[in-house]
């Protein structure tokens, strides 16, 4: 499909490239600074993302360990109280 005229084509014929250079495509100091700024933003975002994921994983691991040990701690607190309660004696 030719996107210029939205028609179907049987063969692809690429357009020849022009040999004259465009002065707007040359790198200027401000374009280089923008590129470095963009690269720095990507680097900072990547580092923050990695640290955030590491913190999230650490919270998950500690939360899992806390949740796993929670019933044992609860049982240690409740068990002595249950043993202190005297059984009910039924009168016949």
- pLDDT of 47-85, one tens digit each? 999 999 999 999 999 999 888 877 666 666 666 666 666
61 inside domain: yes
69 inside domain: yes
3 inside domain: no
Average pLDDT over residues 33-53: 93
Report residue 24 as tokens: 């707007």
92 inside domain: no
Q: In which domain, by residue range, is 79 found?
A: 55-83
Q: What pLDDT, on a 0 to 100 scale, did the predictor assign at position 35?
A: 85
Q: What pLDDT, on a 0 to 100 scale, did the predictor assign at position 26?
A: 54
Distance CA 25, CA 87 (A): 91
Q: How confident is the model at residue 39 (pLDDT cuts 50, 70, 90)?
A: very high
What is the pTM assigned to this prediction?
0.44
Q: What is the total count of domains within the chain?
A: 1
65 inside domain: yes
Q: How confident is the model at residue 1 (pLDDT cuts 50, 70, 90)?
A: low
C-alpha 68, offset from chain centre:
26
Distance CA 76, CA 47 (A): 43
Tokens 């609860």 identify what position? 74
2 inside domain: no
1 inside domain: no
Percent of the chain whose predicted confidence (pLDDT) is above 70: 61
CA neighbor of 10 nearest in space, from 2, 19, 20: 2
What residues pair up with 2 in beta bridges, in sequence order? 7
47 inside domain: no
- DSSP H helices, the chain, are 29-84
């Amino acid at each position: 499909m030719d996107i210029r005229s939205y028609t179907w084509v049987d063969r692809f014929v690429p357009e020849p490239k022009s040999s004259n250079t465009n002065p707007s495509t040359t790198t200027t100091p401000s374009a280089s600074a923008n590129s470095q700024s963009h690269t720095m933003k990507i680097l900072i975002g990547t580092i923050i993302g990695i640290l955030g994921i590491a913190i999230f994983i650490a919270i998950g691991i500690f939360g899992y360990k806390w949740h796993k040990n929670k019933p044992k701690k609860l049982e240690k607190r409740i068990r002595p109280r249950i043993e202190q309660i005297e059984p009910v004696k039924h009168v016949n």
